[in-house]
Structure formats: C-alpha cells, structure tokens
Copies of this chain bind each other. A is one copy, B any other.
C-alpha cells in the first residue's frame, strides 16, 4: 500500500538505494559563485531540465576562490552524482579534465577541452555584432569599446566588435578596461578627453556600463542624447529604472537546460564531445538613441 507508506512517513533511504544501484539520479552543479546572478540563472536552467527528466539537483559553490571550486567539485565527486554541470570561472586547471574522465561533465564556459567534456558557451562575437548593428542603424559611426582584457569572454567580445566594425568600414576603437565599474569609469574619463569623443560606448559588461554611465552623468553628458551607452549580460542592474540600460542578453537559462540534455546523453553512454555556441539577443532600453546632429 503506497498510501500507508506515506502516512507512516516512511522515507526510502537514498544512501542505501544509491549504494545498491550505483546511481544517484542526481545532477551536481558546481558554481563559481552564488552571488553572481549569471550562475544563479544557470543553476535554475539545470534545475528546470533536471525536473523535466525526473532528476534531482544539488548545488555547490566555490565562493569565487579556486580552492573553493576544487573543494566544491570534490564534494560532488564524493557524492558520485550521475553527472556534473560546471559553471566555473577558472579553467585550465587539470582538476577539471581529470574530473571529466571520472564522471560525465558538461562545462558552461568559454573554455574548450576538446574531448574530456562537453562545453556550452555564449556566442560572444554575435552579441558584439548585435550591438554594432544596433548602433550603426541609429547612425553612430564613432563607437568605442571598453574591453575586459583577457577575462573570460572578453577577447571574443572584443574580436566580435572589431570584426563587425571593420565589416562596416568603421574604425574599431578599443580602450582597456575590466568587468567592473571602476576601471570602466577611468576609461570613460580618457575617452571623453579624445579630440573627437565617440557618440556611443559599448562597455565590456553591465557593471562596466554602469561605471561609464556614472561618469558621463557626473560631467553633464546626457544619455542617450549626447552619448549612447551599451552594456552586456542584462543583469538586474540593467533593468533598474534609474539606469535602464540597453544590453545583450545571454540565453543563460538555456545553457542550463541544454547542459542537462547533454549530460543525460553522456550518462547514457555518448563518448564524443560536443561543443555548442548559443546565440544571445539584444535588449534595447533607454541608454541608446539616434546619433546627435553634428555641432
């Protein structure tokens, strides 16, 4: 009688079941940092995919530290989850490839480890192209990109920007920055000192755009009347009424769902590695507008 089992609140012992069956019916998700909404959304996507497939999800976080990531992975490895979705920041450490040999793994990142694991990542270049297309269609020609050096995804965004600009016969101007407010703010100071300041600035991500935004505001430059500003990632701050930033949205939830699918394929025996690129989309808000009439 199933009912009575429930009534007597009998709870099957997962430890015993897993031990006997050698399976856990659980997907482990290792996140670099829970504070990052990107990773939260990734986990949500995995949870959605897992639920659809009747699997459980367990999350561990590396708290932004490499040692933390390794410990988090170790926890999952010890738990012997059926597979692991990796939302890690620090790749290349051999720990990851080693792990992929032990357990079905799919990484969501700009990292490519040809065969050990599957990878899923955002088509950064396409996102940059969306931005350039949007701005040029508004009449902008002097567009500056504040990059984020070699931070994950940044080189691809930069490359996408320069390519898209060149294809349109425009000069791609790049200033050095990073994925934070401060460095973008400093870059913005330099940018506005140019003999011919740009009419649009494409920041490395939303946070950087917020830094640009803050500086332009503080020196009386109107947005988007004088200068258009674009971010990248569509984080919460982009949607804030006080900012309302035009940005590019990565299909992060989709990463999670797709990661689950790939993982299940692996669990079912697929051996060859798949590497997929998913396309982001443009979110137009209030920080971009037509190029101002020349003075």
Contact = CB atoms under 8 A, between A and B. Distances in A.
A262 interface: no
A246 interface: no
Q: Which of A16, A39, A78, A181 counts the most chain B CB atoms within 10 A?
A: A78
A261 interface: no
Interface of A is mostly: helix
A182 to B, nearest CB: 8
B61 A75 contact: no
Interface string A1-40: 0000000010111111011000000000000011101011
Counting every copy of the chain, the complex holds 2
Given A14-B79, A58-B58, A211 B241 contact: yes
B35 A35 contact: no
13 contacts: A12-B78, A13-B19, A13-B80, A14-B78, A14-B79, A34-B59, A47-B63, A58-B59, A58-B60, A58-B75, A211-B241, A214-B240, A215-B241
Interface of A: 9, 11-16, 18-19, 33-35, 37, 39-41, 43-44, 47, 56-61, 63, 75, 77-80, 102, 181, 185, 210-211, 213-215, 217, 236-237, 240-243
